[in-house]
Structure 1
Amino acid sequence: MFAQRPDIRPATVEVLVAGQPVRVPEGASAAAAILTAGIPASRETPVTGSPRLPYCMMGVCFDCLAEIDGVSNRQACMVTVAPGMAIAPQRGARHGYRAEDAA
């Protein structure tokens, strides 16, 4: 579904996405790494558990929320990858969130 252009081969860095090593171009976003890895979802919604993947890639929609280097609720499209970065799918709400607070 998401493929890199074959004619451009910039320097790459290795990150871990859902525990699997993925090589992405230097300067790419964590959201691009998620899409390159081909995982089925980068997060699940807190209320229904619906799967989500990066959508707008510019920080507007928040569908790319993921756990990056142990910090939850990060907008993966706004974070540049770094060698060894760990990107994990976010499950439900971040720690400390209460659904009744949103009502």
Structure 2
Amino acid sequence: MRLTFDGRALPAEPGQSVGAALTAAGIRSWRTTRIEGRPRGLFCGIGVCFDCLVTVDGRPNQRACLTPVRDGMVLESGGSDG
């Protein structure tokens, strides 16, 4: 399976979450906090927090830890919180 993150092609395995695929590719942070610009990525890994938000196929604020990968998925970093 292949997906793209900010235009970069990444491999993914069936059954992985977006967060797992990004982490396996060495990407640990994909958004920052609005006020202090601190990096955010996976934190709880079970959908309780909102640190892992990512844009998936044009839909912002999707939890990377809960979103299963699919072939051809387009991911974008960005998002921030308050």
Q: 1:58 aligns with which of 22, 41, 46?
A: 46
In 2, distance between residues paired with 1:39 and 1:19?
A: 14
Gaps of 5+ in 1: 1-12, 94-98
TM superposition outliers: structure 1 runs of 4+ over 3 Å: none
Corresponding residue of 2:70: 82
User: Is 25-34 or 84-93 further displaced after alignment?
Assistant: 84-93
Q: Could you give the per-residue CA deviations for residues 39-74 of structure 1, whole angstroms, max 9, x where no partner exists?
A: 352111122211111122110121111111111111
Corresponding residue of 1:37: 25
In 1, distance between residues paired with 2:75 and 2:3?
A: 8
CA distance 1:57–1:40, change in 2 (3 Å)? closer
Structure with the greater alpha carbon radius of gyration: 1
In 2, distance between residues paired with 1:80 and 1:16?
A: 14
Which structure has more helix as a fraction of its residues? 1
Coordinate RMSD, CA, aligned: 1.6
Amino acid corresponding to residue 76 of structure 2 in structure 1: A
Amino acid corresponding to residue 63 of structure 1 in structure 2: D
In 2, distance between residues paired with 1:91 and 1:67?
A: 8
Corresponding residue of 1:23: 11
Gaps of 5+ in 2: none
CA distance 1:67–1:55, change in 2 (3 Å)? same
Percent identity of paired positions between Structure 1 and Structure 2: 35
**Alpha-carbon contact 1:73-1:90 (below 8 Å) kept:** no
Structure ranking higher on relative contact order (CA contacts 8 Å, 6+ apart): 2
